[in-house]
Amino acid sequence: MNIEVEGKQRHFAAIWVEGKEVRMIDQRKLPEKLDIFTARNSEDIAFSIKNMVIRGAPAIGVAAAYGLSMAKANGEDMELAMKRISETRPTAYDLFKAISFMKKNEFLESAARRYGMEITGRCKKIGEIGNELIRDNSRILTHCNAGALAVVDWGTALAPMRIAHNAGKKITVFVDETRPRLQGARLTAWELAQEGIEHYIIADNAAGYFMRNGDVDLVIVGADRIASNGDFANKIGTYEKAVLAKENGIPFYVAAPGSTFDFSLPNGDLIPIEERGEEEVLEFAGNRFTPELSRSRNPAFDVTPSKYVSGFITEYGIFQPSGLKSLRSMMEKDIFMNS
């Protein structure tokens, strides 16, 4: 991704290996400060994933891959390292795909680098394919952050927007703020600003207003896990956006690489949903603004039924939920997906 540093544009990945360490943009500090978090062992990697130093399903997978190769190089107990990392965030399927990939490839650093490069390249392909859905002057709604920060580069939902913008298309992006951690307002808006893409941050409960008024042409979101029938988990609030899009006749697309599809699950009811700490809802910037006697529930994700999905934008093409058997067949022939 392009980031302005001291008045100059520089290219950054969300996560990379430097010597014997893994470094990543600390997403907790954005947009106020560009800070780099350094991980030196599997405990640091687990901390970074659990505490959302790095987040987004594909990026979580890459962090896990790098972390396990580093653990191997450090002589750590690999069973303990895998357990530690696997217990961080249960919903994101890429995490478990990456662990499986690294185990099959003996936790080699070369395998981790390959995993990162594959995911990045596949997400760029998602952008190229998804660009065909975007017309000049399109107005696009997105939820949470599915940009370069959530992958390594390019993004999933934001990748088609980047490709469209680079191709000279004029687009406008409506960015849901995405309570309670504000990944849309803090991260997606920051990425779009760095790329010079016109956008508006809107309150989560304003999306219906803009849809009903005819201000949104299509919706593109990412995903953390997709079941065999096309039900998918994404950041809490996605389900509401999908229902609103259907009600208003607006196409609703999900952008995700093959590594996010969990064909072992027949439907979304079986997707494990992470519930995070109450403080994320009860506090803002570390300060409590709610009654002391009040408690909260804080599911990090919800599940959207496949009937609301117009299509899945993948590196293999665009598939309707009814066509996921074809996607599965293509993935079964993909050496990377089976290694």
Q: Which residues are catalytic?
A: 224
Got the DSSP string for 194-209? HHT--EEEE-GGGHHH
Q: From its phi and psi, is residue 14 left (phi > 0), alpha (psi between -120 and 50) or beta?
A: alpha
Got the DSSP string for 40-76? -SHHHHHHHHHTTSS-SHHHHHHHHHHHHHHHHHHT-
CA neighbours closer than 13 Å in the CB half-sphere of residue 213: 7
CB 224 within 8 A of CB 234: yes
**Gyration radius from the chain CA atoms:** 19
* Phi, psi dihedral angles at 257 (to 5 degrees): -75, 165
- The rounded distance, in Å, linking the Cα atoms of 240 and 172 is 21
Q: Which of 314, 311, 258 is nearest to 129 (CA)?
A: 314
Q: Which of 215, 173, 170, 163 is nearest to 193 (CA)?
A: 173
Q: Please classify residue 203 by burial: count the beta carbons closer than 10 Å to its beta carbon, then call 0-12 exposed, 13-18 middle and 19+ buried.
A: exposed
CB 182 within 8 A of CB 194: no
